[in-house]
Structure formats: C-alpha cells, structure tokens
Amino acid sequence: MTTAFLLAILAIAWVALLFLVFRAPGSPAPTRLILFQLLLLVTCVLGYFFLVEVVGFNPNPIRVRIARTMTDDKMIYLGDFVPGVYDLDYLYRIDTDGDQEEPKEEWLATYQYDVSTAEGGTRQGPFGAAIYDLDDCRPPAVLSFELVPVSYDYLAQDAIIILGDAKTDDVVVKNIIPYADPLSVKDGVALDRPEVIVFGRTRGARTDLNVFRKVGVELDCFARQQWVRTHPGQPFPNPLRYENVGSFRGNYGVSMAESTVTVLDRAPFERSQIVIRRQYRPVDGSYFRFGTQTLRDPVEYTLAFGPGQPDVVQKVYYPEKAVLAFYANLTKDRGQLETAQGYLSEQARGAYDLYRDPFGLSTDPESVAKARDKLARVLVWEIRYQPDVPAEQLHQDREVTVTVVGVDKDGNIDYDHPCQVNWRIIGAPNPQALPYGCEWRLDSYTSTCQP
C-alpha cells in the first residue's frame, strides 16, 4: 500500500467522520462521542503524515527520547556507540545468517564518515556498514562484523535506503548462490548460508553492489572463555567473518536478477546514452577468481542504451542509435524483427531478407550462432562513428561501423567470429522527426565476415 493511497483513504475517512459528528442531531450521544474520538485520531494521523511526507519533519529524534524516557535510559541504542549513525533509519533488524531466529537477532548499522554538512543541515559523505549479533554465552555479548569491500572502499556514495520493503530495500538477505562452504563446517556438514546483498546509491541511482556471506563456525562459549583466560587483555580472534564474495560498481547503474549481476558504464561525453553492459555470474560460491580479489571475466558484454531502446523509430536522433537499435532487435521474436525492419530504408527492405540475411554476422558453418538459423540475439562489442552535426542537419549520408557477434538460444557466444560491419546510413525526410526533420535508416552494409 503506497503512502498516497493510504493518505487518500484517511482523507475520505476524515470527511466521513466529520459529516457524521457534526450532522443534525439524531445520533445517540455515546455514538457521537465515539465518532468524535475517531475523528481526532484520524486528524492526528493525517497531521503526522503531513509533517513527515510534506514538510519533511524527522520524527526519529523524538522517538529515541520517548524510548529513553519510558525505559529509564536502560535501552541499548546502537547510535550511542557506532560513529556516524545519525538516525534510526540507519539501523535495521535483520537475519543475516539464515538461523531463522524470531525475532531476528542481528542488527545492520549503516553509517556515514568523512561527513560534510551542507546548508540546511544535510549531511554528505560515503556510507559503510556493520552487522551486530548476540552470542549465546553467559552473559551474552554483542559481536560486531564490518562489511568491508575487497578494495576497502565505501559501500555507497550517497545513500543506502532501508524502509522495510523487500522489493525496494538496498539491503537484501537471500540465498542466491547455492554453495556448501568448506570453511563453515558444523557437525560434519558444510553450511550453505544466504548472502547479504548491499546496494549503494549515487544521486538516487544504484551504482554500487557488494555481496557478503557469513564464513566460519563460532567457537562454543567454554572454548572462548578458556582462550580469554589464557590470553588476558588480548582481543579475541573471532573465527567468524562476513566475507566479500562480489564487489561491483557502474557509473550508470548496477542491478541483480537471481545471481546474475549487470553493470552499466557510460563514457562521460557519449551523446547517444550508449553504455557498456557487462554481466557476471558466480563460480564456486564467489564472483572473484579463486584465491584472489579480482572479478571473473563477464559472461557477456555488449553496448546498449542506458535509458532503454527507443520506442519509436522517428525519435532516433543520431545515426549510431539507429544501428545499435537495429541489432538489439535482430532476434527470433517477430515483434522485435518488425521493429528492426523499421530501421531499414526502403532500398534495404527490398535488397535484404529480414528473416534470412546475415546482416554482416558470420555464416561460418562452425559458428555457434550461424546467421541466421542458429541466431537468437546479437551482441554489439564496438561502435565507431564520426559526429558531424552540420552534415546531420543537411541529411547527408553517414557511416557507422560496428563489431558484432551472434549468440545462440543456449547463450553460447560466437567468440571466434567477431565481425566488423560498416553501414551506410541515410536520412529519410520526415518533417515530424526531431531534431533535423529526417529519420535515420540503415541502407547498405559491408562486412569483414562476408565477401
């Protein structure tokens, strides 16, 4: 239920109660008294939402003061001893190890450091995070585990958002990598613990992603106490830790679907919003190469549109966007093929069979994606063009060169046959098309993979 929907329901209830309370006499006095009390309650709730959602009032400091007063200051508050915890929104109760405690026994604390306070009191600075967990000893102690990326870098540049909504929270605990960890053996069984997934935001977009997993087996309390007695004054070397098994950063964005991580990077002055899209999958429980802190090679990379493929051919501003959009739609899906056809000129539609022509891709019989009978989709590895605004304004023919490879239905990539395809792009006049009154259409091509 969204906040807007809840506010609408409350507003309707408020109007209804107002009418029932102040209508002409007729209702019994006890009933009107109850309705009046409900009206006051709904008014208070509406006022609270107005202060929080519209005015931007932060109720958390008052909540903390009320809690301290009601508990005679006997409450343990993580904000008192975790540097950089400025608000209750930085604290989150969570089950990070899959032990199925009820209530959940771990706390996740996100914190800011190197803070710069802007005008109006807004705090700016990177975010880190730590997990706090109770042990089972007598008396119980609170153990801390810092969530450290392999580069010992920040987890987020601007924010880690946790609102208690599993669909939108930037922290998720989920077993996305089935892995019997040989370092976490308990009673002869290697544990398969869930992963702690932490997204970080920059200017509202998710640009960072770190994946952690609890590793090791906790010593029993007796063994720990014996160690403390024999090592007085020394910090206990806790055998448990949260290991970073994947660390990703994309200046345009990062996302995750199951265990597949997609990273988008964009060049600073790329006029067509073209991004490099890389996809990663874990092997043997980690996204890193075994024994290193280096990411494995992406399982797939291609050029793509950051905001997504253009919906309408007529709205493609630049020649290179038409070429990239054409290959992005060169699949087996009939609807996508019809979209791809919209990027071809009239001459090209007559010269090339949309369902059979290789369009520059390899036709080698040994190819895993022999064009076009095995082809499922196309990856664009490189695109080269020479921006020339005056020529584009005059609707002059342009040239765009791409390096493309095919992918079959099983996801096998034709690494052995990358093909450079040079397209001649023409401007088909259309006064309704922005910005130069023409639609950019693919007219003819030559390819290094075909005579």
pLDDT at 93: 85
pLDDT digits (tens, 9 = 90+) for 63-81: 777 777 777 777 777 777 7
Q: Is residue 319 within 8 Å of 400, Cβ to Cβ? A: yes
279, amino acid identity: Q
Q: What is the CA radius of gyration of the chain?
A: 30
Q: What is the pLDDT of residues 103-132, one digit of tens each?
A: 667 889 899 998 888 877 778 889 999 999
Residue 447 has pLDDT above 70, yes or no: yes
Predicted confidence at residue 104, as pLDDT, reads 67
pLDDT of 188 higher than 90 = no
How many whole angstroms separate alpha carbon 236 and alpha carbon 309? 55
Which of 189-203, 245-259, 304-318 is predicted with the least confidence, judged by mean pLDDT?
304-318
pLDDT for the residue numbered 2: 65
More confident residue, 58 or 362: 362
- Taking the CB of residue 184, how many other CB atoms lie within 10 A of it? 21
Can you give the pLDDT at residue 350?
94
- Is the pLDDT confidence value at 44 over 80? yes
116 CB burial (10 A radius; 0-12, 13-18, 19+):
exposed
- Give yes or no for residue 236 having a pLDDT over 70: yes
- C-alpha separations of 300 from 177, 323, 407, 449 in Å: 19, 20, 10, 21
What pLDDT does 94 receive? Answer: 84
pLDDT digits 0-9 by tens, 260-315 = 999 999 988 888 889 999 999 999 999 999 988 899 999 999 999 988 888 876 67
Could you tell me which CATH class the domain 313-447 is placed in?
A: alpha beta
Using CB atoms within 10 A of its CB, is residue 353 exposed (0-12), middle (13-18) or buried (19+)?
A: exposed
- d(CA 206, CA 156) in angstroms, rounded, equals 9
pLDDT of the residue at 5: 74
Q: Residue 15's pLDDT is what?
A: 79
**pLDDT over 90 for what percent of the chain?**
46
Residue 144 banded pLDDT, cuts 50, 70, 90: confident
Residue 419 clears pLDDT 90, i.e. is over it: yes
pLDDT digits (tens, 9 = 90+) for 24-37: 565 567 777 777 78
User: Which token pair is 142?
Assistant: 């609170």
CA distance 81 to 84: 9
**376-403 pLDDT, tens per residue?**
999 999 999 999 989 988 899 999 999 9
Which pTM does this prediction carry?
0.82
